Amino acid sequence: MEANMKGFKRVWLLLLTMVLANFAVAGIIVDTVVQREFVDWLGGYAYQHDLNDHNDFALGNVTGGLLEVSVWDDSQHWFDGPEVILFQVDALDWDSGGITFGHSFSGDLEFGALAALNTNGFLDVSIKSLMGDFYVGNSVLTLYSAVTDVAEPSTLGLLALGLAALLFSRRPKAPKWLA
């Protein structure tokens, strides 16, 4: 009987550890700016990702990210040449932006962009036509944060830990024949 109880306690402790370990995982935040903007020859367009309206975003927690911006040709004229597009992310430091030749943009966020997000929760993006005209579509920003900070799971974890302590602190009563 005592061996069964020890086995039960070990299984219960293992389950409790697994539940508590799930509360400290990395979080993924996805922010999408829905748009369909036309950019003419040598023109530009700017917009902003605002992460402050996400409940699971906390300043200083962003450890990495990916920005994807869709672009397509307007195909209005048969004589349209290739598009050369400058993507400027936060500041023009060639950190996170780049130049594409008529294609959508996809790039990891580097130091400057991550610093801006961790400081104020905003990511400024500007797109400039160096040659050609095109449409700018949706912009998807995927961020990776160190730890999701949610109060309810930690409270439940503390409650479960307290109940486990109460369960394991009970001592079995001695049999009557030993008393």
| pLDDT at res. 152 | 61
Percentage with pLDDT > 70 across the chain: 66
| CA-closest candidate to residue 123, choices 36, 17, 42, 52 | 52
Q: How many CB atoms lie within 10 A of CB 72?
A: 14
Is 123 within a domain? yes
In the predicted model, is pLDDT for residue 1 greater than 60?
no
10 Å CB burial of residue 175 (0-12, 13-18, 19+) is exposed
In the predicted model, is pLDDT for residue 51 greater than 80?
yes
Q: Residue 29 is part of which domain span?
A: 25-147
Continuous H helices in 54-104 = none
| pLDDT at res. 101 | 86
Tokens of 176: 């009557």
Crossing angle of helices 151-169 and 2-21, rounded to 10°:
170
Is 160 within a domain? no
Residue type, 88: Q
How far apart, in Å, do the first and last CA atoms of the chain sit?
20
Instruction: Please tell me the total count of domains within the chain.
Output: 1
Is 127 within a domain? yes
The CATH number of the domain holding residue 131 is 2.60.120.1120
| pLDDT at res. 157 | 74
In the predicted model, is pLDDT for residue 150 greater than 80?
no
Is 15 within a domain? no
Is 125 within a domain? yes
Is 153 within a domain? no
The string of pLDDT tens digits covering residues 140-149 is 999 998 764 4
The string of pLDDT tens digits covering residues 26-49 is 588 999 999 999 999 899 999 999
The string of pLDDT tens digits covering residues 77-120 is 555 678 899 999 987 666 678 888 878 999 999 888 898 889 99
- b vs e for 23-59, b when ≥16 Cβ sit within 10 Å of the residue's Cβ? eeeebebebebeeeeebeeeeebebebebeeeeebbe
- Beta strands 105-108 and 37-39 are unpaired
